[in-house]
Amino acid sequence: MINRIRDIRRQKGWTLADLADACDPPTTPQTVGRLETGMRNLSLKWMERIAAALEVDPELLVRSEKAGHPQIVATLAQGGAQALVETRDAMLATDLGGGGVLMVMTVDYPHGEYRPGDQLWLRQLAPEDAGRAINRDVLVPRKGGRFAFGRLIDRQGDLVGILPPGHGQKQDVVRDPAWIGVAEMLVRRL
């Protein structure tokens, strides 16, 4: 097995020392370096410790040698597309996300900036965490198996105010939703 500790650490912009300090209990940069290069065995205990420090699921730290993985091969800089000195594993935005269940809503009819065929990936939050989602697009369950979708514009007590996409729409108010799905990633075929 090849581990992805170095790729994930670099994508977060961390040094070996940053990751070593983030471990609980802290370890040394040398130990992290040995784990990254395979000079030290990556046990289940170390996987859980490193994954917790990086705030990812432990299984993201390893991959099969046979399994292909998308590679970052270039960056779009001020002067145009630039090749990287060394390719590295790409990570999905959902891999770096926090807790909460992921869910997907498909778009069948154009609404605001969303087009038919789009997939909107949402991360479930508890209603008490709604403050983190103000001014973001959300999906909220309503009574009777229905949903409200749009920009979360207000939360007062057990009420949330949602402005549907498009012009001239009237605010939806949902009382005491079971959860709030916050838009995290838009997938659109080109």
Q: Dump pLDDT digits (tens) for 144-179.
A: 889 999 999 988 888 899 999 877 888 999 999 999
Q: Phi, psi (5° rounding) for residue 166?
A: 100, 170
Maximum Cα interatomic distance, the chain, rounded to a whole number of Å: 61
Do residues 62 and 137 both lie within one domain? no
Evaluate whether 103 touches 181 at the Cβ level (below 8 Å): yes
Residue 160: give the domain boundaries.
99-187
Residue at token pair 């935005």: 93
Q: What is the pLDDT of residue 140?
A: 94
pLDDT grade, residue 50 (50/70/90)? very high
Q: What is the pLDDT of residue 98?
A: 63
Q: Phi, psi (5° rounding) for residue 75?
A: -130, 145
Which residue did the predictor score with more confidence, 134 or 77? Answer: 134
Do residues 168 and 134 both lie within one domain? yes
Burial class (CB in 10 A: 0-12, 13-18, 19+), 152: buried
Evaluate whether 32 touches 42 at the Cβ level (below 8 Å): no
Cβ neighbors of 132 (< 8 A, separation 6 or more) are 125, 182
Last residue of a domain, one of 22, 57, 91: 91
CATH of the domain at 133: 2.10.109.10
Last residue of a domain, one of 91, 123, 156: 91
Torsion angle defined by CA atoms of residues 82, 5, 91 and 182, in that order, rounded to the nearest 10 degrees:
-130
Last residue of a domain, one of 91, 123, 155: 91
Do residues 122 and 163 both lie within one domain? yes
Q: Phi, psi (5° rounding) for residue 48?
A: -65, -40
Measured distance CA(57)–CA(8) in Å, rounded: 11
Do residues 114 and 150 both lie within one domain? yes
Answer whether 0.85 is exceeded by the pTM.
Answer: no
Cis peptide before 70 (omega within 30 of 0): no
Domain tally for the chain? 2
Confidence check: pLDDT of 47 > 70: yes
Q: What is the pLDDT of residue 28?
A: 95
